[in-house]
Amino acid sequence: SSPNSTTVSYPPTFLLIGIPGLEKEQFWLAFPFGIMYAIAVLGNITLLVFIKTEPSLHEPMYLFLAMLAFTDLVLSTAALPKMLSIFWLGSREIGFLSCLAQLFFIHAFSSVESGVLMAMALDRYVAICYPLRHSSILSVPVVVTLGSLVLARGVVLVSPVCFLLRRLPFCQRHVISHSYCEHMAVVKLACGETRVNAIYGLFVAFVVAGFDVIVICVSYTTILQAVMRLPSTEARLKAFSTCASHVCVILAFYTPALFTFLTHRFGQSIPHSVHIMVANLYLLLPPVLNPIVYGVRTKQIRDRVV
């Protein structure tokens, strides 16, 4: 930057495009997004209230579910209100520090969501493979500790991303071709050496998703083997149906995440608008689906709603 070291090298504001290539259509596209966001907020708050007020739901599975609902609220709220204001009001400016804050919450809580899904897979593994010891292995203190570790991991791994961005010089480019501040989308605007940022971003993605997906796969493989050994067909079907809903939720979270992650680095042939739409759905699909899937699956919640 300039010889005068007090000058800041980052621009005071960035401009968020919304959905590149669909600027004309995004006013209308915002309606389904807005409806999904409303469903997500209502659904997850309802889930949290149910779990808090219903004593029979104070067990590991539902405590993890409460963590998931809270994470989904943070994740969708970090992005959606601003996104809707871009689509409907054309207010595209976002301050540099607000952009970093948004980026922090989105990436940290994506990591938390991944961790909670992993913890839920472990919970199912213990419930199905060690049913008699379930409550002693996954006691409430253990569940709280797991939740705290998952939260701490997200915060500790994602914080350096923000500090690394703070020290990058941004020249004249300040238009982010995205609907929210996403790490690589912001990195691409810098005019300094960004290799460290890119490598660290990859490292975090592999550590979080890599570890969690391995634990989830191992848990479900073991669960499947245990379920196949169950004597009655009815018991097998019951166990399968419980796991099927979990697997749907896991796929709804990881599929768009993986797509977004890969297109950023290798998907030059994929239209940018498709990439951004998937990235937006990635923040909306799980928060909309989780309360529905788990709410419908849970007898106590179903009975209260009906």
Going residue by residue through the chain, which has 306 residues, state the pLDDT in tens, using 9 for 90 and above: 444 444 556 778 899 988 888 888 889 989 999 999 999 999 999 999 989 998 888 888 889 999 999 999 999 999 999 999 999 998 899 999 999 999 999 999 999 999 999 999 999 899 888 889 988 999 989 999 999 999 999 999 999 999 999 888 887 778 998 999 999 889 988 888 889 998 999 899 889 989 999 999 999 999 888 888 888 888 888 878 777 878 888 888 998 888 877 776 676 788 888 888 888 988 999 999 988 888 777 776 777 665
- Non-local (6+) Cβ contacts of 141 within 8 A are none
User: What domains does the chain contain, in order, with CATH numbers?
Assistant: 13-303 (1.20.1070.10)
Give the pTM: 0.90
Q: How far apart are CA 175 and CA 68, in angstroms?
A: 33
Largest CA distance in the chain: 77
Sign of CA dihedral 62, 154, 72, 70: positive
Q: Which two tokens stand for residue 112?
A: 């938390």
Q: How far is CA 25 from CA 14, 18, 21, in A?
A: 22, 11, 9
Q: Which two tokens stand for residue 218?
A: 């191992």
The β-bridge relationship of strands 93-95 and 13-16 is antiparallel
Q: How far apart are CA 130 and CA 124, in angstroms?
A: 10
Q: Are 75 and 287 in contact (CB under 8 A)?
A: yes
Question: In 3D, which of 142, 2, 132 has the Cα closest to residue 59?
Answer: 142
